[in-house]
Amino acid sequence: MPRSQKVFKKRKGKYYPRKNTINSKVSTTDSKLNARAGHAHDSKQSCAKEKKILNLNGNFSSFDDSVGIINAIMNLNILAFVFKNEVHCKMCNIGLDMQVLKGKSRLAITFVLKCFTCPYRVEFSSSNFHEGTQIATINTRFVYAMRSIGRGAEAGRMFCGIMNLPQPPTRFPPYGKRILNAAKLLYEDSIENLRRKLFVKMKVTKILR
């Protein structure tokens, strides 16, 4: 078999840049990775700083109706401890005993504060009620939330059982009409606000012309 005429020897005086640029590419890649890692570390630190919960202790003193409706899930043992050790009776300056009454308001529970020595007693609910009714607003909001995510009463009972919450409403239909009326009012208000904005925009456009 005849020998091949091609010669694969390295030519003298010829510069091959690829062989010498491998190390430089590796070093460049390492530097880029280090830079990215440093940037990611800095961004994680900044994100962690941004995600810190604000200290709201200073805002409790100025809490009023203008803040809006705020719902929270909390351990009632903590609340009972605070009433017993940090809150005092107005009459005898003694800690208060907190009790929870079982009612028919479902997610809305009734708290009773009693003084340990005197007859002082305070009773209040954990939720507001719709005007002129005994329907707690927290129940309506719960039904609306479950319907918004496409779930029903069974899923609501399971959620409340896992979270150790009071029993939720067992029937959703009684709340449907109230939610529908609220949705209609919200829709009408949104349309009215949009109409006003468009009117102002058209008026400004005419003036600029």
Which of 22-36, 41-55, 94-108 is the least confident region? 41-55
d(CA 128, CA 138): 7
pLDDT greater than 70 at residue 171: yes
pLDDT at site 185: 87
pLDDT at site 66: 54
Q: How confident is the model at residue 55 (pLDDT cuts 50, 70, 90)?
A: very low
Q: Are 166 and 136 in contact (CB under 8 A)?
A: no
Residue with the bigger pLDDT between 137 and 35: it is 137
177: amino acid identity, one letter: K
pLDDT at site 60: 41
d(CA 187, CA 197): 15
Judge if pTM exceeds 0.85.
no
Residue with the bigger pLDDT between 64 and 105: it is 105
pLDDT greater than 90 at residue 173: no
79-128 tens-digit pLDDT: 999 999 999 998 999 999 999 987 788 899 999 999 999 999 999 999 98
pLDDT at site 65: 55
Give the percent of the chain with pLDDT over 90.
36
pLDDT at site 10: 54
Residue with the bigger pLDDT between 108 and 207: it is 108
Buried b (16+ CB within 10 A) or exposed e, 45-66: eeeeeeeeeeeeeeeeeeeeee
pLDDT greater than 60 at residue 178: yes
Largest CA distance in the chain: 118
Average pLDDT over every residue of 45-55: 40
pLDDT at site 200: 86
